Structures are given as C-alpha cells and as structure tokens.
Amino acid sequence: MQFADLGLRLAVTVALFTYAGYRLDRWLGTGPWLLIALCFVGVTGGMLSVVRGVNRWTAAEKASHEPPPEDTRDGGG
C-alpha cells in the first residue's frame, strides 16, 4: 500500500504542474513553453518525493530488523 501512495504522489504532482503550465500558457499566450517547463518541474518534484519516500521506507525496514543496541555502561558504581 505504501508504494501505491508513492505512485499516486508522483502522478498527482506531474498532473498538477502540467495543468498549471497549460493554464498559464493560455492566460499569457506563451505557447507550449510554460506547459513543458512546469511538466519537467512536476516530474522532478514528483521523483524527488518518491525517492524520499522510498528512503524513509527503507530506513524504517532496516531499523526494524536490527537488534537493539547493547548496554555498554559499567554496572558497578
């Protein structure tokens, strides 16, 4: 389920930035340039979000499989 969240996050980010570029191009009359630029921004931001999510998930998995640290303190006073 966690990977579905990452895929959805990527798709929504790309879609929102692409739509924003489309709307700005229509409003400013700049042709497809803002659409293309914001699409690349969306892909970049979405991929960074996916990489961060995978790194968090990997770190959590690794931490759950490591034994607890041993107590190295001296027992005597």
Backbone dihedral region for residue 57 (phi beyond 0: left; psi -120 to 50: alpha; all else: beta): alpha
**pLDDT value for 77:** 52
pTM of the predicted protein model: 0.72
Give me the average pLDDT of each 10-residue run along the chain (77 residues): 83 96 94 95 94 88 73 61
CA–CA separation, 62 vs 69, rounded Å?
Answer: 14
**pLDDT value for 32:** 93
**pLDDT value for 20:** 97
Give the CA distances from residue 37 to residues 32, 45, 68, 75, in Å, rounded to whole numbers and listed in that order.
Answer: 9, 12, 48, 63
